[in-house]
Amino acid sequence: MGNKVFTDRSRVEQAQRCLRARWLGYHEQGMGIQSVRKSLPLAVGGAVHEGLAVLLQAASAVPGAHNDPIACVAFEQDAVNAALADFASFDAGRLETDLSEDVDLSAMDAGEREKVRSAIDQYLYDENRALVEAMVRAYARRRLRPLLEQYEVLEVEREGSWELADGLMFMSRPDALLRDRSDHNLYIQSFKTGASWDIRKGKDAEHDAQGLSEGVEIEKRLGERVLGIRYEFLWKGERRRDKDLSARFGVEARSQASPLVRGYLSPGMTDSDAQWNWSWDYMKEGGETSKLYWKAWRAAAVWEHMPIAKWIDMLDATTLTVGEEGREVGWSGPAQATGFTVAHPLDACFHPPIIQYRNDDDLRDWVEQVEHAEVRIAEAVATVHAATDEGEKRHLLNVYFPQSRRECVYPSVCQFEKICYGGEHIRYNPLESGLYTIRIPNHPQEDAKDASEGA
């Protein structure tokens, strides 16, 4: 191999899912192309990661922060600002929801369609902007201190690369590198945002290549073993059909079922009389379970009634009530006007961390498999780039980068579906359609020229 060629875990996994998606996403036009729209989970997850990186970086720079609850939340606003700045790059209309959430506006005339579409897009943007802010604040209040108490944060989002094969560089950027304060072992921190807990997520982490791939660069650089990867899951809530929202837009609409951005409101005569519950289910003082009375309480978007910071303050003020004889009655506070809840609302948004230990046998297998696959892909990229006309390029793509046709619309719509199944024009000129743009590199080491030549 002549010039350096770059790869990373995302590219490897993309190739394993569909080689044509790998070509389009990382090699078409030299740098690869991407949809001008961004999938909602990726936009929210990316923005939250930005905020958490700022939080970890700032808090870990303060000596003794793990013993100081005030220091742990001192950087919350900086972290929120970073997260919201990242989210602001996906203005309303550029966020893409799942296909199952598509609404049929065909019965409306063009003007009405435009009005409804833009109202839905704006709501989606505002709702998820609120969610990004709330998730970062919730992490700062409830999860940062336990992490700092157990671990020293050595690095945050540090870029690195190592040579997988001759001239083939593997890039990585772990969320953070941690050292256990008691046994001094190294761990990689990985934040995962998801809708809710599912046993498959835990099982999936057991076979995830992230711990294997990200640890290699650290071990080569520091000459020290990385014992495992610490996954920390943050829950965004499901996107559920919402009757009130559907009535507001005149079409079926969904909302984010997360207590971080949605509560149950009983409006008073004035704003100051309004009462909130974060949970529909509650317990009475004697322990009997009950639900809110549907005529008195309606689901409401918190950010339309108060700043998210205020709502997180209310949720954070929740305390555990202990009755006579030391019996725990339940959690209550200003965000739950009715009864007690089983869990603290901010704790309900996280799953206890899972540690996956690295295994030498798995690592050896993974490196050999990835090296072989990536060398072949680099050679194939060079061959396709050398094609002299569209007919030859199409043939070479069919040979070296076939379409898997297995993940085109499920579990989510592939961003290249319009290219694979569109007309001749978009196949040959995806950028001219206005639906795609040149990929923005995810790692600074990438150089357009080196990455494009593939040899």
Residues at the interface with ligand SF4 (CB under 6 A): 18, 20-21, 24, 403-405, 407-408, 414, 416-417, 420
Smallest separation, CB 221 to ligand SF4 (Å): 35
Give 84 or 438: the residue with its C-beta nearer to ligand SF4. Answer: 438
Integer Cα distance of 403 and 406 in angstroms: 8
Q: Which is nearer to ligand SF4, 313 or 407 (CB)?
A: 407
Q: Closer to ligand SF4 at the Cβ: 195 or 420?
A: 420
Q: Please identify, using beta-carbon distances, which residue of 81 and 433 lies nearer to ligand SF4.
A: 433
Q: How far is the CB of 409 from ligand SF4 (least distance, A)?
A: 8
Residue with Cβ nearer ligand SF4 (14 or 356): 14
Instruction: Report the nearest approach of ligand SF4 to the CB of residue 20 (Å).
Output: 4
Shortest distance in whole angstroms from residue 34 CB to ligand SF4: 12
Smallest distance, ligand SF4 to C-beta of residue 13, A = 13
CB 247, min distance to ligand SF4, A: 35
Closer to ligand SF4 by CB, 15 or 83: give it. 15
